[in-house]
Structure 1
Amino acid sequence: MRDVAAVMEFLKARLREDETAARAVKPGKNQDVERLRARVLADVEAKRRLLVWVEENRFTPLKAEAEARGLPIWQRAIVDVIAGVPEHFRSPVIAVLVAAYADHPDFRPEWRLIEEEQELGEEYEPGDDKSRTRARGRTV
């Protein structure tokens, strides 16, 4: 996924929409609706925590400290490598989370999961801006 920042902003906006919709559901006599509302709010909170986990990079301060301490270039290079690894390993979480919103009008085709592209086979044309065929039971 090339533009992690754009995907993160897209996800944050969708989570705000989901939270707003869930909070708009008025408590009533139907306990199933109340449980669904609570589940959606818990889901939003869990996804927000995952986004924070992906965005955090605890090695960034270490990188700044290495430069400030005047470490030799080879040691700074090692710190740079270590600082770059976490996002690489954590960003697939974002790809999976964003897939749930593939039917949203602002969803970009390049955010599609690789598995979904392979399922589409010959019907999928990268760069095709027209509406997509069915993927995993969803119209996209």
Structure 2
Amino acid sequence: MRSDELAVMMEFLKARLRDDEAAAHALNKNKDVEALRDRILADVAAKRRLMWWVEKPRDKTAELTTDGTTWKDKAVNLAADVLTDLWVSRRDPVICELVAAYEGHPDFRPEWKPTEDEYEHTDFAKRR
């Protein structure tokens, strides 16, 4: 996945989480609705933590990168790039899965829809 595409997906997801959070706060208070509101807010907070977890390797790479003037600096930069690529390739699919939950939203892009060959489908009902 291109980093610019991921950035657009992250912005889309951030906006949907703001929408969910606002909707949860707008609910009238009674026992059932309050429990639903609390669950929605907990869900929004968990998704934000996952987004942070996905973005963290990019922050770490910036800390590792040097000015690149010596062979040692160039080696450190190369190692940081390889490590970031590895982290990102393992973490970016999390954003794809979170974004997929908003498929019915008018700003959702068709190319964000996961395809069957992108991941191995697990039928949890058969595992029981």
The TM-score, its normalising length taken from structure 1, stands at 0.72
5 Å-filtered alignment, 1:85-100, equals 85-100=86-101
TM-score, length basis structure 2:
0.78
Aligned counterpart, 1:32: 32
Task: Tell me the number of residue pairs that the alignment of Structure 1 and Structure 2 aligns.
Answer: 114
Q: Which residue of 1 aligns with 2:11?
A: 9
Kindly provide the amino acid, as one letter, of the partner of residue 13 in structure 1.
A
1:101 matched residue in structure 2: 102
Q: Classify the secondary structure of the residue corresponding to 1:65.
A: coil
SS at match of 1:67: coil
Shift of 1:68: 6.8
Once the two structures are TM-superposed, the CA of residue 83 in structure 1 deviates from its matched residue by 2.5
Shift of the 72–41 alpha-carbon distance from structure 1 to 2, 3 Å rule, reads: closer
Q: Do the aligned partners of residues 4 and 32 (structure 1) sit closer, same or farther apart at CA in structure 2, a change above 3 Å counting?
A: same
For residue 82 of structure 1, report the CA deviation from its aligned partner.
1.3
Q: What is aligned with 2:121? A: none
Identity level (%): 50
In the alignment, which residue of structure 1 is the partner of 2:112?
Answer: 111
- Cα deviation for residue 34 of structure 1 reads 1.0
Indicate the RMSD between aligned Cα atoms, in angstroms. 2.2
**Secondary structure of 2:68's partner?**
helix
Which position in structure 2 is the counterpart of 1:84? Answer: 85
Deviating above 4 A after TM superposition, structure 1's stretches of 4 or more consecutive aligned residues are none
8 Å contact kept, 1:60–1:83: no
Which structure: greater helix fraction? 2
Superposed CA offset, 1:82-117 (max 9, x none): 122211110000010011000000100000011299
| Partner in structure 2 of residue 67 of structure 1 | 68
| Structure 1 residues 26 and 66, CA gap change in structure 2 (3 angstroms) | same
Residue in 1 that maps onto 2:54? 54
